[in-house]
Amino acid sequence: MASTTPIDMPPAPPAPPERAGLPKSSGRAGDKIFLGLSRGSGILLLVIMASIAVFLTYRSVLAISKDEGNFLTTFDWNPAGDPPVFGIAVLLFGTVVSSIIAMLIAVPIAVGIALFISHYAPRKLAAPIAYVVDLLAAVPSIVYGIWGALVLVPYLEGLNLWLDQFFGWTYIFEKTEVGVARSLFTVGILLAIMILPIVTSVSREVFLQVPKMNEEAALALGATRWEVIRLSVLPFGRSGIISASMLGLGRALGETMAVATVLSPNFLISLHLLNPGGGTFAQNIAANFGEADAFGRDALIASGLVLFVLTLLVNGAARLIIARRKEYSGANA
């Protein structure tokens, strides 16, 4: 149930320069069996995926056809009600907004850490830092959730008051309701911490792939360390950073338990990010699955499908960007 992330793999490496084509069968039995096995499992995979998709779509259509509200615009989730009314507007908003906050915080920090590890830190320091950041990825999300609810939320209240006082004019940081910091903003911060390791480690790998010649050439021209990074490392690593961010975004979109523990959900859309409230797809599924009847589960499956489509779009966009900069891609490091 942990971070149910549809994107778990780095985007595929650029296709090999030329497909060698299947070697002519040497007529040996082993070759034929192996060919059959691998072709068979490939087809089996497609069949399984297709049947899952068909099943999910079927169940969602069942649910949506009985929905008395508008599935896309209703601000409520009550499939057990009479009449059943549920819609994904709030969930879509909450998912996207909390992920954007997470990205805004995590990507710059992650790139900074990655640059520090790959170009600034002494070797003795770089290894332990990389190690600690990677360790963050191994902490289960429910632990982040409990930590978030018990430690992060109380501590963020001070920050919230400060933001409200000095940045209240931005509307976004105006706190109009009392309540502890169980808000989309807090969720964004927590998600940022959770996606740091993946963004950092992929970016770090990419930065380490920068051709030494480029860097040395820049140094030879009298560039400072920062200029080297600006002139050769960052341009080379840009597509890598983008794909790393997309991986992180995928995680943030699908995060379940941590959000369910920290957020105080309600079915209202508000751009006052410091007010408690909001909701995300995964959090809503986790919260409502237990008590839902068969129809309620179908409704949750329908909302899950929307999340699936959303992640598919994100993944597709990432691939598109990377494909355009194929020659630079460091994601295959």
Partner 1 sequence: MKLQRKNRLRATALGALAVSGALVLTACGSDDNTGGGTAGTGEKTTAASNVDCGKAKGQLRASGSSAQKNAMDLWVKNYMAACSGVEINYNSSSSGEGIVAFNQGTVGFAGSDSALKPEEVADSKKMCKTGQGINLPMVGGPVAIGFKLEGVDKLTLDAPTLAKIFDSKIKKWNDPAIAKLNDGVDLPDKAIQAFHRSEDSGTTQNLGKYLGAAAPDDWKYEAEKKWPAPGGQAASGSSGVAAQVKQVDGAIGYFELSYAKSQSIPTVDINTGGAAPVQATSENASKAIAAAKIKGTGKDLALDLDYTTKAEGAYPLVLVTYEVVCDSGNKPETLDTVKSFLSYAASDDGQKILTDAGYAPIPAEINAKVRETIGSLS
Amino acid residing at 109: I
Q: Does 296 bind partner 1 (CB under 8 A)?
A: yes
Q: Does 110 bind partner 1 (CB under 8 A)?
A: no
- Residue 135 buriedness (CB in 10 A; 0-12 / 13-18 / 19+): exposed
Q: Does 83 bind partner 1 (CB under 8 A)?
A: no
Q: Which of 115, 133, 190, 260 binds partner 1 (CB under 8 A)?
A: 260
3-state secondary structure of 8: coil
3-state secondary structure of 145: helix
Q: Does 280 bind partner 1 (CB under 8 A)?
A: no
Which is closer to partner 1, CB of 219 or CB of 333?
A: 333
Contact 67, 53 (CB under 8 A): no
The least distance separating partner 1 from the CB of residue 80, rounded to whole angstroms, comes to 7
Stretch of 65-73, 112-120, 141-149, 302-310 lying at the interface with partner 1 (CB under 8 A): 141-149
Q: Which of 22, 222, 290, 327 binds partner 1 (CB under 8 A)?
A: 290
Which is closer to partner 1, CB of 214 or CB of 266?
A: 266
State the pairing for strand pair 85-86/77-78. Answer: antiparallel
**CA 198/CA 52 separation, integer angstroms:** 28
Residues of 173-202 as b/e, b for ≥16 C-beta within 10 angstroms? bbbeeeeebbbbbbbbbbbbbbbbbbbbbb
What are phi and psi for residue 266, nearest 5 degrees? Answer: -150, 165
Q: Does 129 bind partner 1 (CB under 8 A)?
A: no
Q: Which of 100, 109, 121, 142 binds partner 1 (CB under 8 A)?
A: 142
The least distance separating partner 1 from the CB of residue 206, rounded to whole angstroms, comes to 16
Which is closer to partner 1, CB of 56 or CB of 208?
A: 208
x-or-dash pattern for partner 1, window 170-209, by CB under 8 A? -------xxxx-x---------------------------
CB proximity list for 328: less than 8 A, separation 6 or greater: 235, 236, 238, 239, 240
Which is closer to partner 1, CB of 142 or CB of 323?
A: 142
**CA 333/CA 331 separation, integer angstroms:** 5
Which is closer to partner 1, CB of 248 or CB of 279?
A: 279
x-or-dash pattern for partner 1, window 39-78, by CB under 8 A? --------------------------------------xx
Q: In whole angstroms, what separates CA 209 from the centre of its chain?
A: 24
The least distance separating partner 1 from the CB of residue 332, rounded to whole angstroms, comes to 14
Q: Does 139 bind partner 1 (CB under 8 A)?
A: yes
CB proximity list for 285: less than 8 A, separation 6 or greater: 256, 300, 303, 304
Stretch of 62-70, 89-97, 111-119, 146-154 lying at the interface with partner 1 (CB under 8 A): 146-154
Task: Please count the other Cβ atoms lying within 10 Å of the Cβ belonging to residue 112.
Answer: 13
- Site residues (vs partner 1, CB under 8 A): 77-78, 80-81, 131, 134-135, 138-140, 142-143, 146, 149-150, 154, 177-180, 182, 260-261, 263-266, 268, 276, 287-288, 290-294, 296
